Structure 1
């Protein structure tokens, strides 16, 4: 269980996240929604400890994450993997090596610097790439791939960390509709097949309703909605997004899935 209690974060005189209290059960697929600047990214970065809370505590299975330091903190960041909007791959390195970077916490510093990866690590990285149908790209430079392929490489890198939680910060923001579906399907597969908790910041309500089993809506740093996708009515969305509601709501959502297999959660 991931427990967030009274968590706030201030940057100077600005409060980015204010008094958030949440409990997230193992194996959930959570969508965090809200306007730009609502505090979604700051919340995820606090869970991974890329940003420290100004107040409150974050705990996982009874361990106070906010108190971790040194190796214990590095272990937590491996266990709570992060996927970014801009992929964060090393473009000049091949795909397999980029995925192996997810194993850095499992090997010695010397082995990592000299890229002396073990056979087991390489097998795990190739298996992760195979999960997302890109094992054939293992030898290509990362910067030669399309945006959707690069994001799948980033997801494979997160998977080989052997995480309990994957945090995805607007993972499809820079992708076209086809690659958006490919990446969201990949996250859903990780969630359902491996039972890994996924917490994903999303701007599109259509995607959030289609893939997530619980939505957390944020506004001005506060949680203003927490419930099942079906409970997020048009009126609730307008309260959450205000004038932006029309941009993120898609009344013809079913059209997007015409001729395609809808994700399991979308069909529910």
Structure 2
């Protein structure tokens, strides 16, 4: 279980995250929602320790993640994989090599520097690409792929880390509706089939409601909503998004076969 206790992050005089407390059972698919600047990305980065908390702590199955250093911290970052909005791939490398980067924590440094990947590592990477329906792109350079394909490569890279938790930071922000559906379906299948906990920052309420088991809403760094999607009413949406609420609600792409079906929206926002 992931436990967040009184987590805060201050940048100068501004509190980006303010005393957030959460408990997330294993295997959950949690959508973290709120307007831009609400603290969503900072929260996820503190869980992964890419940002250091000003106060509070993060626990995973009883281990104090905020106290980890050195090798133990590197191991945690392998177990707690990140998927970024910008994909963070090396465009000049082929897709398979980009995915194999996710195995770095499991191979000796000299082998990784020389790209001496074992047959087992290659098999794991190809299996992840096949799982995401892009094994046929393994030999192509990443810079030649579409945005949706690059994001699936990034998810495959996270998957070969054999993580226990995946933190997806606005993974669909730069994607068109079709690729939004493909990426969200992939994350939903990973959570469902592998029992991996997924925390996914999202701006669109309808997409969050269609795919997530639970929604966590931040406003000005504070936790203002925590509950199932059908409990998010118009008042809660306006508290989260203010004047941006209407923009945050839009048509959610229909999941592909085998993915969770979208839920009907319980409210309609008016101008």
| TM surpasses 0.5 | yes
* Cα distance in 2 for residues equivalent to 1:246 and 1:175: 20
* Cα distance in 1 for residues equivalent to 2:150 and 2:186: 13
**How far apart are 1:263 and its partner, in Å?**
3.2
Tell me, yes or no, if the aligned pair for 1:80 and 1:166 is still in contact at 8 Å.
yes
For 1:107, the equivalent position in structure 2 comes to 107
5+ long unaligned stretches in structure 2 = 265-271
Q: Which residue of the other structure, out of 245, 257, 260, is the alignment partner of 1:264?
A: 260
Deviations 1:89-121 (A, max 9, x none): 000000000000000000000000000000000
Deviations 1:198-243 (A, max 9, x none): 0000000010000000000000000000000000012211121110
Deviations 1:27-50 (A, max 9, x none): 000000001000000000000000
For 2:216, the equivalent position in structure 1 comes to 216
Q: CA RMSD of the aligned region, Å?
A: 1.4
Q: How many residues align?
A: 264
Aligned positions of 1:1-268 closer than 5 A? 1-250=1-250, 253=252, 256-257=253-254, 261=257, 263-266=259-262
Deviations 1:56-82 (A, max 9, x none): 110100000000000000000000000
* Cα distance in 1 for residues equivalent to 2:118 and 2:197: 28
5+ long unaligned stretches in structure 1 = none
For 2:269, the equivalent position in structure 1 comes to none
Q: Which ranges of 4 or more aligned residues in structure 1 deviate by more than 3 Å?
A: 260-263
Question: Equivalent residue of 2:262, what SS?
Answer: helix
**How far apart are 1:86 and its partner, in Å?**
0.4
Question: Equivalent residue of 1:66, what SS?
Answer: helix
**How far apart are 1:261 and its partner, in Å?**
4.3
Tell me, yes or no, if the aligned pair for 1:168 and 1:199 is still in contact at 8 Å.
yes
* Cα distance in 2 for residues equivalent to 1:248 and 1:262: 26
* Cα distance in 2 for residues equivalent to 1:219 and 1:84: 21
TM-score normalised by length of structure 2? 0.95
* Cα distance in 1 for residues equivalent to 2:261 and 2:217: 19
TM-score normalised by length of structure 1? 0.96
